[in-house]
Chain A
């Protein structure tokens, strides 16, 4: 893949513009009071996460460089670009680490630009400014679609087509919900949706990879039938968009435009779910586990959820720590802090107040908040 070469300032300017635009786009959502779960706002969770997590990321990535890994090799340890993109929500906390002496300001800026550069090694357009998330070259797209046991919906009866569309729609909705259950607002830590890749003038391919579904911090996931689900979906006559954080939009409901499908339990070499009965079985196997997960999450306290929030973020460092032979788990001090300290309400109040000021000012403030070059955003 051709890697984009941008200066530090160009990278950070593009990033702050992207995240401010994205967050403003969701500012009408109910998030400030109830998202991602009804028990805490992400900014409260970040109170516990930022300093230990960013310090750990900084140290581990620096160690990878010392060990001679290239940016591309290090980037691939994160699996996919949207996982890294979701970690950039934490850039807001970089300056806190500087203030607390966890690393220098230059280190903080270096950490931010390093992660953004990594994304550039994994997707063609770092910030998805063209509304596409292109990971595969066209040759690979052609090879993968030719070699795959694709289910052609046109070869099925109308009744069977309806069953496949309904079932596949439910599987995607269920797996998206599972990712939100496991990774909270940062659901793309658990999935990568990529494409759309043009196949013909009317048809396009969307690839979905759901992974790390069995997470050691969520006991209920042990009952899931597999750790990964991979699908290749062909759609006709619909526009599909992906943003930097791997959120999907489309001009029509997706199942109604589905014309071809290859779903596998596992990765791209996994067991194909190549008929309607297997697809329905997959859905029926996942649904009770996800439902049990929702019941489990409901009875967790805020403090329990804060711990999960921290743990799942640290779990993204597992492949890196394994490579280095180090420990990737959260330090005990984080658990102690969660048990003994409440997050300051000022954070939530500050976000709530944001919605009362003009949009241009909101945009400017958000850009400054996520910019590690700026010492005092307010």
Chain B
């Protein structure tokens, strides 16, 4: 979302309702991506596969349950985010 790029630091986990090219600057700093929406062919999943970073999509509630600065572990293989 607008402003995310400024907040994101290199190595942060990007948590967003969905991703799009408009989040490029934030995505490029991300060590993992978690989204509320989307599946295996979503923008987030495609980009994460290309970058080689873990990604969990379609959580429905990540943006509500996780908050800025929280330590999380993202297991892209299992599709689990440990908060």
Q: Which residues of A contact B (CB under 8 A)?
A: 25-26, 28-30, 34-38, 165-166, 169-170, 172-174, 176-178, 180-181, 247-250, 253-256, 287, 290-291, 294, 297-298
Q: Return the contact of B27 from the options A30, A177, A247 (Cβ within 8 A).
A: A177
A166 to B: closest C-beta gap in Å: 7
Known pairs A30-B42, A37-B20; A291 contacts B25 (CB<8 A): yes
Whether B20 lies near A180 (C-beta < 8 A) is yes
**Could you jot down 11 A-B contacts, CB within 8 Å?**
A28-B58, A29-B37, A37-B22, A169-B53, A170-B28, A172-B50, A173-B27, A173-B50, A176-B46, A176-B47, A294-B24
Known pairs A254-B49, A254-B52, A255-B51; A173 contacts B38 (CB<8 A): no
Whether B41 lies near A34 (C-beta < 8 A) is no
**In the docked arrangement, what's the CA distance between A170 and B37, Å?**
23
**In the docked arrangement, what's the CA distance between A247 and B40, Å?**
11
**In the docked arrangement, what's the CA distance between A181 and B23, Å?**
11
A288 to B: closest C-beta gap in Å: 9
Least CB separation from A171: chain B residue: B50
Known pairs A173-B27, A247-B46; A294 contacts B21 (CB<8 A): yes
Interface of A is mostly: helix
B39 contacts partner chain A, Cβ-Cβ < 8 Å: yes
Known pairs A30-B18, A30-B38; A180 contacts B51 (CB<8 A): no
Whether A25 lies near B50 (C-beta < 8 A) is no
Q: Return the contact of A38 from the options B5, B22, B38, B43 (Cβ within 8 A).
A: B22
Interface contacts beyond A169-B51, A247-B41, A254-B50: sample of 10 additional A-B pairs, CB < 8 Å, sorted by A? A25-B41, A38-B20, A173-B50, A178-B21, A180-B21, A248-B50, A249-B40, A255-B52, A297-B21, A298-B2
Q: Return the contact of A180 from the options B2, B43, B48 (Cβ within 8 A).
A: B43
Whether B41 lies near A253 (C-beta < 8 A) is no
**In the docked arrangement, what's the CA distance between A290 and B47, Å?**
15
Closest 6 CB pairs of A and B: A255-B52, A30-B37, A253-B52, A177-B21, A169-B51, A180-B21
Whether B22 lies near A298 (C-beta < 8 A) is yes
A185 to B: closest C-beta gap in Å: 10
Q: Return the contact of B41 from the options A26, A177, A291 (Cβ within 8 A).
A: A26
Residues in chain A near residue B2, CB distance under 8 A: 298
